[in-house]
Amino acid sequence: FFLSLKLEKKTKGKLQKQICQVVLDHFEKQYTAELGDAWSSVRDVLTSPWCWQHALLLNRFSPSPGLESSLAEQGYHPAFPAALPYLPAAFRCYSRTAPGRFPAQKHQPGRLKGYYLLNAASLLPVLALEVRDGEDVLDLCAAPGGKSVAILQCAWPGHFHCNEYDDMRSRWLEQTIESFIPDPLINLIAVSKLDGRQIGDLQPECYDKVLVDAPCSNDRSWLFSADPQQAVLRLMQRKELSSLQFQLLRSAVKALRPGGSLVYSTCTLSRAENSDVINLILSSCSNVMPVDISGMARAVSQEFTFLSGTQQHELLVLPEKGRAWGPMYVAKLKKVSST
């Protein structure tokens, strides 16, 4: 016991040193103003990686005999309740309240992985999208590929377009798909490296569902920026992100068929990159309306902590000890007419 306590202290000390003070100071100022009292408990979790949790999304294309009983023995339970408005039978995810990480599986060409390790909150955008078999789906900013894989655990789209503009991240996306999706099905997935801001003009009204998991200021990773100069640069460029996010959203709206829906998500707490972007698209696009996702939020309220006071078409997952999921912002919109 004392040895494990020593190790924990050593780990804490080591990780504590890596926290980037310039980023923490910036967050302290911004999020105290935006989140009020909720920020102090969120900050405690974000700055304490030893209390972070990981969930396992099982791969329906590569069943692992005995895995579910092994997970149950280790205190894991199904992460999403059957009461969810949309929860396909093939979609199976496990989590537990204790921190710690299940062993990762290495990428092996030609061999499918049995599960994907992730932050359970990152599956909420996929569940909000409600993809059905045969629908044409666009994942606009798809790397590293976890949400694309999750969509394919839910349904088999008629056409599935995974796009990633960044060259290195695009290779990562391709490797993820190769690790989780069998050959005959991979051939039905189109992977592209287009500028997401232009897809709406290149492919107008081609999709029933669009996921915009937008590039954002990733609060968890930014807090541990090893290079203070890079952190300062990131914080300066942060102001420009909301403009990029708005352009990606506008492109997604163009790519949607009338009657189609889109989900916008980020892994930041920042209001400028979340509600403000959605409010701007709602005020500038008369053919888009908000979709109520409060039923989904209520169904998973045992598993996740949400910021109170958000509107019915959005939610913001706040990390807290024992439920260290998030940050994850999710908003859902529907296209009602062509223009």
Q: Which residues are catalytic?
A: 267
Q: 195 a known binding residue?
A: yes
Q: How many CB atoms lie within 10 A of CB 64?
A: 15
Q: 144 a known binding residue?
A: yes
Q: How many CB atoms lie within 10 A of CB 84?
A: 15
β-pairing, 328-335 vs 314-317, is: antiparallel
Q: 213 a known binding residue?
A: yes
Q: 141 a known binding residue?
A: yes
Q: 208 a known binding residue?
A: no
- Which own/partner pairs from 239-243 qualify as long-range (CB within 8 Å, at least 24 positions apart)? 239/272, 241/215, 241/216, 241/217, 241/272, 241/273, 242/272, 242/273, 242/276, 242/277
Q: 44 a known binding residue?
A: no
Measure the CA–CA gap between 210 and 140, rounded to whole angstroms.
Answer: 7
Residues 6+ apart with CB under 8 A from 36: none
**DSSP state string for 155-213:** ---SEEEEE--SHHHHHHHHHHHHHHS-HHHHTTEEEE---TTTHHHHSTT-EEEEEEE
* 3-state class (DSSP) for residue 266: strand
Measure the CA–CA gap between 15 and 114, rounded to whole angstroms.
Answer: 30
Report how far apart, in Å, the C-alpha atoms of 214 and of each of 153, 173, 196 are: 21, 15, 10
Q: 128 a known binding residue?
A: no
Q: 143 a known binding residue?
A: yes
**DSSP state string for 55-99:** EEEE-TTS--TTHHHHHHHTT-EESS-TTSSS--TT--EEE-SS-
How far apart, in Å, do the first and last CA atoms of the chain sit? 65
Which residues contribute to the annotated binding site for S-adenosyl-L-methionine? 141-147, 164, 195, 213
